[in-house]
Amino acid sequence: MMLTGIAIWLITIAAALVLWRRDRPALAKGGRFAVGTLKNVLPIMLLALPMAGFLTVLVPDRFAAILFGAETGLRGHLLATVVGALIPGGPFVSFPIVLALWNSGAGAAQMVTLISAWSVLAVNRVIVWEAPLMGWRFVLLRLVTGFWLPLASGLLAEAMLALLPPGSIGR
């Protein structure tokens, strides 16, 4: 994580320097955008991080292992697909839930399936945004052509994990 943070800071500083030299009003505009985004995201993060901690403690040990553990096979992937599709909201809601499941014994490949289903199938997003804006014909086209992606990504992750040394991905 530290390397990611360093890379983000370096890119940010480089972009700011380029804008400072080329277009100072654009630098100010970018700064205002960043501050505005931070004002929107920070309150959510201040709630989401404690939620992740509380959920991690509330979800009983090994609870997720029973439902989504590495040994649950296809059943675990199918359940992860359904649960992922039903998780409402954005990453500030979904990732604390995923973290709680992960800490309660969910398998890595099953969590790939769950996150993929949340990304691709999200029922809440379909109802609130996609159908009203794009229409149900478009929604149907997208879902029919992409419903298999979460399961495929999880099963591919499982195959890849089988090739890695034990414990190379995990808690």
- Over residues 85-137, the pLDDT tens digits come to 999 888 888 888 898 898 889 999 999 999 999 999 999 999 988 999 999 99
91 and 14 within one domain: no
Enter the pTM of the model.
0.74
81 and 126 within one domain: yes
Q: CB of 70 within 8 A of CB of 110?
A: yes
106 and 135 within one domain: yes
41 and 65 within one domain: no
Mean pLDDT, rounded, for 131-146: 95
Q: Is 166 left (phi over 0), alpha (psi -120 to 50) or beta?
A: beta
31 and 95 within one domain: no
Supply the DSSP symbol for 129: I
State the total domains in the chain. 2
Burial group, residue 74, by CB count within 10 angstroms (0-12, 13-18, 19+) = exposed
Supply the DSSP symbol for 70: G
| 62, pLDDT greater than 90 | no
Which residue in this structure is represented by tokens 């040394």? 165
